[in-house]
Every structure is written in C-alpha cells, then in structure tokens.
Structure 1
Amino acid sequence: MDGPVWIPTEPPSMENFLAPTLQPIPLIPAIAVVLGVLYLAGALRLWSARRRWPVWRTLCFLVGCAAIAVTMGAGVEGYGLKMFSVFIFQQLTLMMAIPPLLVLGSPGTLLLRATPHRGPGAVVLRWAHAGLRSRWGRVALHPGFTIPLFLITYYGIYLSGLDDRLLPTWYGHTGLELVFLASGVLFTVPLLSSDPLPAKQGYGGRLLDVAIEMPLHAFFGVVLMMATTPIVEFFATPPASWDLDPMADQKVAGGLAWAYGELPTVLILVFIAHQWFRADTRQARRADAEADLHGTPELDAYNAYLEQLATETPSGSSR
C-alpha cells in the first residue's frame, strides 16, 4: 500500500484491534481530538459564565469524538487497511454510530452561544450565520442530496471499481473515511439536530427518510454474503501472516453491513417517533392552556348557533 501506513504483522484479534497503535499520520484521530477540545472549551466557557448547557449533550459529543479516535487510531485502523470486514465495520461506525452522537451534541448551538462577539469570534459568527442562510446549506441537508450520497458510499464506491483505485493509497483510503463520516453527518443532521438549520424537516419526512435508507446497507450486506468472488480485489490478498480467508472475511463484512448497520437506524427511528410524540403533546397542552385562558371563540360561536337553532320555533309549527 502506497503512503505513510503501518500494516500489522500479527493475526487479527480483539487485543490487537484495540491496541493503541497510531498510524504514521493519524489525521482523523487528530481532527477528533481538536473537535473535542474546542467543544469542551465552549461548554466550559458557558458554565464559567453561569449559563446553562446540557451535560448530556456534552457527553454525547465527546463520546462521538472518542469513538472516532479509537476507530481510526487504534490497531483496528491497521487491520482495516487490508481486511474487508474491519473496513466495513469502520465505515458503518463512521456513517451510522458516530454521527448521531455528534449531532445530539448540538455543536452549532454551542458555537453560536459560546463564541465571543468581538475579534476573531465575530468573524467565526459571521461565517456561521452565512452558512445557515446559504443556498448550499439547504442543498447539502436536503434528502434529495443526502440519500443519494448514502447510495454512492455503498453501491457507487464498491460496485463501480472506484474502491480498487482509491484504497491502495493512503490519500484515497483516508479520503474515503472522511467521506463516510461527512455523509453520515449530513444524513443525520436533518433527522436529529436541534441546531438552527437552513430548513427544518417535519417528523413525518424524517421517518420517511430513515425508512428509505434502512434497506440500503441491509441489501448491500446480502450482496456481500451471496457473492462467490471478491467484491473488492484490493482485499483479496491480505498478508500471509494473518492466515485469513478473504471470502470468509467478505461474508463477515456482509453480516456486519446487514446487522450492525440496522441497530443505529432503529434507534434513530425510535428517537424521532418519541420526539414527534413529545412535540404533539406539548402542542396539545399549549392549545388547552390557551383555551382555558382565552376560551375558544369560534367553537363557542358555533355552539351558540346550534343552541339558537334548537330553541327557535320551526316555520309553520303554530298551525
């Protein structure tokens, strides 16, 4: 493999997967650490100013950053360079498991609240507001873009042969991992985010988007498990010291795509349904409170009209 990479010689095992072994250029783990530090600095700034910021949102974002650092920074990254099942596990984690944690952290809201309004902070806020109002932001978060992007990251990359051209280099491999994370975040933001967005999607639309996406990775997993030849030629020649059967490993990759990819999606569905129920309940309570305070003029007028009809003497009844 071309580029600054480290490929382990020991056979794959759970101990070797979790070994704290960084790649020569740990780009993505470094990005995760920087994001985590910036987020924590923003939260501490609000807390020190006695302004409220949910601890659970902070924990969600920091756990997401830690998951990125481990998935991309431990020994699992070395095995993912030549082991299809590990690479699929990393892809699913970057696309399905980590984005909800980052999005639930509401980093956009924290940015707007914690950034100083003077000096460099004013420039950051200006760029943030411009991004929220931009047409590109609407396009990037629209289902017409995010769902096809999901399709490309599975079928477009693996079935077009693009993976065999990108994976043999450090630049292509790292670029794909960044694309996986970015596509997962873009897909998740309209579903779960409470940040100010260019456009808000209704709960029904969110459920529909998830329902459309759910079969994608499941069917791709079936394709992998039923294939009789390697889908990705690059993973067909693992190091001899690993004593690994590429076809057996591909079936494991298919099982992961089918099973592991479904769990985060189901949890997202449950979360959206719960949020929808809470929103409807709050709306009903507000309507009842307003009716108790101000009454319901239209309903009262209609009831008075019905009572008037009931008390009036029908025409010709005096005969």
Structure 2
Amino acid sequence: MPESQLLSPRAPLCRYSGLRAPRPPHVGRSKVHTVLLPLVASAPDLPRFTLERVFTEWSLDPFLFVATVWAAGLYLWGVAVLRRRGDHWPIGRTLSFVVVGMGAFFFATSSGISAYDTTLLSVHMVQHMILAMVVPLALALGAPVTLALRTLPGTSTRGPRHWLLAVLHSKVVAVLSFPPVTLGLYIVSPWALYFSGWYDAALSSAYVHEMMHVHLVLVGSLFFWPLLGIDPVPGRVAWPFRLLMVFLTLPFHAFLGVTIMAQKELIGGAHYEALREGPMGAWLPSVADDQQLAGGILWAAGDVVGLIFFAVLFTQWVRDSMKEAAREDRRLDLLERRDTMRE
C-alpha cells in the first residue's frame, strides 16, 4: 500500500495499529465512534437506522463532551457552595439545567442521533430541534446566571462576580439581548444554515460541524433566556410582548418546514448522494424523501415546542398577576387598618 494512503489525514484509524487505512472514495465524512481507553474507530458504513440505533450507536465528540462535563460540573459546584452556606436552591432548577438541559445536549451530540446526523437529513433535523429549542429552554429554567451571582467570589466592584456583572451590563450583551435582534437571529439563522454553503461546510468539516451545534444552542439561549425572565439578564420585556415574540415564531417554523419540503434543490445533495453510492445505499431512502421527512419534522416539532413554551409563559404571567394582586390586597388592607387606628 502506498505510504501516501497510509498517512492520509482523512483515513480512519485502524483498530489495533497506529497506521491509517484508506477510506473508500464513495463514503463521505462519518462519525468516529470512540471510547476513552483504548481509542478505536468503527467502520465508516453505518447499519440501517432504527429507533434502537439511537440508543446503541454512541459516539463521543471530545470537544462537546468536555464542554458538557464542565458546564454541568460548574453548575453542581455552585449548588454545593450554596448548600454549604445553608442557602436553599430549588431542586427543579438543578434538574432542569443538569439533567434536561445538559443531558439533552449530550444525548443530541453523542447518541445515535449524532452518529447518523451526517447520514440522514431527517435525523439531523431532530438534533437541530433539540439543540435549538429543548436545550436552551431547559438551561434558562435552571437560572445559571442567578446561581453564579450568588456563588462567585468577589463583590460588585472586584473579582469574578464583578467580571460577570460587567459582561451582563456591557453594550455587546445589551445589543445581542435586544428583543428584535434576538427574534431576528432566531428566525434568520436556520434559513442561513440550510440555504447557503454553511450546511455543506458542516458536512465536510468536523470543526464547522461542532461550531454549528454550539451556534444553535447560543442563538436559542439568546432568544429564550430574556423571555423566561428568571435570570437577571438584559432584554427582558413585559409579559404581553414575551407572548407576542413566541407567537411570531410559530408561523416561521411552519413556513421553513414547508419550504424545505417543497425545495427541488437538495440540501447537502452531493454529500448524501455520494453516501448512496456505497454499501449504505442498500438501506438509505432517497435524498428527496429524506428531505421531505426533515421538513415535516421541523414544521411539527417547532410548532409543538413553541406552543408548549407559549403555554408556560402564559401560566407564569397568570401566576405573577395573582401574586401582584395578593400583594396589592395586603397593601390595601394595611392602609385600611392604619386609617381605622387613627380614627
């Protein structure tokens, strides 16, 4: 075998040696299934996709795995600091951030969804919805900014707590959290992803692929965080405007999903067509059919999650209104008692 093939950076690692085996020319970029010790690589061709494969075809992306561990670990460290001080922190927030938020992020980037996300556009679309909607919503419900402000050392004028406050009050954060800007980013981002060269670049570059995952979570967080209003972050608006912003996103998901379903030009067509020329072509559906399914997933999942979030915000608004009414009743009762005592 020529030395140039053995040392090719695109070739997968052999299972028991340090040499590299050449990749068949028909196979596009695929996931490398890894464990910590020893480092091994699977064959570039995946078996037929089924629901069972979601829970059995696991792979670890080192960068995203480390980011997950650090984020969850820092949050749990903050909760431990509060408990050592004797302060209370709701268990629901911890479960929301660590279990639901970071757990969903790990599941979307390491399970069978991640293994097949460059093989089937429909599977990628499931991953997209988890990263763009489920993860940001759960992270926001965990109130990590509030936790950080209560546990970071320093004061409002010096130390890590001061640095966090400086970031929250900076002009950059003020602009990025401005409601029209967050709404625009949230709506435009998927259009830019699927109707530009961005998605093709993510299919051919592991780095771009990882950054796409991070981008989806960040844009979703910028949109959801101020709307929930749990953390003291800029961009929070009155309840009617929060509901309006969520309502405006509902037709966007439907329109984008229908557009993808009706699109004659295939998204990532060259990549997906190349996969069907190899062994996986025996079970892979046609690229057009898979794109139809992907558009339907985006349409349905976006509307379902959006309606659930709309209901959550409406419930929070009703509860806040009831609390405000109770406070007003107590204030009026106090004034009435004072007037009675003066008489």
Decide: shared fold, TM above 0.5: yes
TM-score under structure 1 normalisation? 0.85
Give the distance between the partners of 1:123 and 1:4, measured in 2 at CA: 42
| Matched residue SS, 2:266 | coil
Name structure 2 gaps, 5 residues minimum.
1-27, 34-43, 339-343
Query: What is the alpha-carbon distance in structure 2 between the residues aligned to residue 12 and residue 99 of structure 1?
Result: 27
Instruction: Write the distance in 2 (CA, Å) between the matches of 1:199 and 1:166.
Output: 31
- For the structure 1 residues 209 and 78, does the alpha-carbon distance in structure 2 shift closer, same or farther, using more than 3 Å as the test? same
Question: Where is the helix percentage greater, Structure 1 or Structure 2?
Answer: 1
- Decide whether aligned partners of structure 1 residues 4 and 260 sit closer, same or farther in structure 2, where only a CA change above 3 A counts: closer
**Counterparts in 2 of 1:241 and 1:260: CA distance versus 1, 3 Å:** farther
1:12 to 49, 55, 63: 49
> What is the SS of the residue equivalent to 1:167?
helix
1:120-151: per-residue Cα shift (whole Å, max 9, x none)? xx632121110121111111111222122123
Q: 1:278 to 1:54 in 2, by over 3 A?
A: same
1:93-112 deviations in Å (ceiling 9; x for gaps): 10111111100000001111
Which residue matches 2:15? none
Q: Which of the residues 291, 298, 316 maps onto 2:332?
A: 291
Residue 251 of structure 1 aligns with which residue?
Answer: 292
User: Pairwise CA RMSD of aligned residues?
Assistant: 2.2
What's the secondary structure of 1:80's corresponding residue?
A: coil
Q: Which residue number in structure 2 is paired with residue 186 of structure 1?
A: 222
Contact in 2 for aligned 1:61/1:103 (Cα 8 Å) = yes
TM-superposed CA distance for 1:3, in Å, is 9.4
What is the CA–CA distance in structure 1 between the aligned matches of 2:209 and 2:65, rounded to whole Å?
14
In 2, distance between residues paired with 1:56 and 1:204? 26
Residue number among 88, 93, 96 corresponding to 1:60 in the alignment: 96
SS of 2:56's equivalent in the other structure is coil
1:195 to 208, 228, 231: 231
Amino acid in the other structure paired with 2:236: K
- 1:22 alignment partner, SS class: coil
Contact 2:122-2:297 within 8 A present in 1 as well? yes
Distance 1:171 1:5 in 2: 14
Task: Give the total of aligned pairs.
Answer: 293
Aligned ranges 1:1-319 → 2 under 5 Å = 1=28, 5=32, 7-19=44-56, 21-23=58-60, 25-63=61-99, 64-117=101-154, 123-233=159-269, 234-239=271-276, 240-242=278-280, 243-244=283-284, 245-295=286-336
Q: Which amino acid aligns with 2:324?
A: Q
Q: Identity across aligned pairs (percent)?
A: 30
Q: Shift of the alpha carbon at 1:21?
A: 2.4
Deviation of the 1:248 alpha carbon: 1.4
* CA apart distance, 1:31: 0.9
Moved more, 80-89 or 1-10: 1-10
Q: Which residue identity lines up with residue 73 of structure 1 in the other structure? A: S
User: How far is 1:5 from its partner?
Assistant: 4.5
Runs of 4 or more, structure 1, over 4 Å off, are: 1-8
1:296 and 1:157 map into 2 onto residues whose CA distance is 63
C-alpha separation between the residues in 2 aligned to 1:231 and 1:151?
A: 19
- Relative to structure 2, which stretch is displaced further, 81-90 or 236-245? 236-245
Amino acid at match of 1:252: L
SS at match of 1:11: coil
Letter aligned with residue 173 of structure 1: H
CA drift of 1:19 comes to: 2.1
TM-score normalised by structure 2 residue count: 0.79
CA contact (8 A) 1:10 1:241 kept: no
Looking at structure 1, the residues matched to 69 and 223 of structure 2 have their Cα atoms a distance apart, in angstroms, of: 23
Relative contact order (alpha carbons < 8 A, sep ≥ 6): 1 or 2 greater?
A: 1
Contact preservation (8 Å) 1:237, 1:246: no
Unpaired runs of 5+ residues, structure 1, are 298-319
Deviations 1:141-174 (A, max 9, x none): 1122212212332112212233223421111111
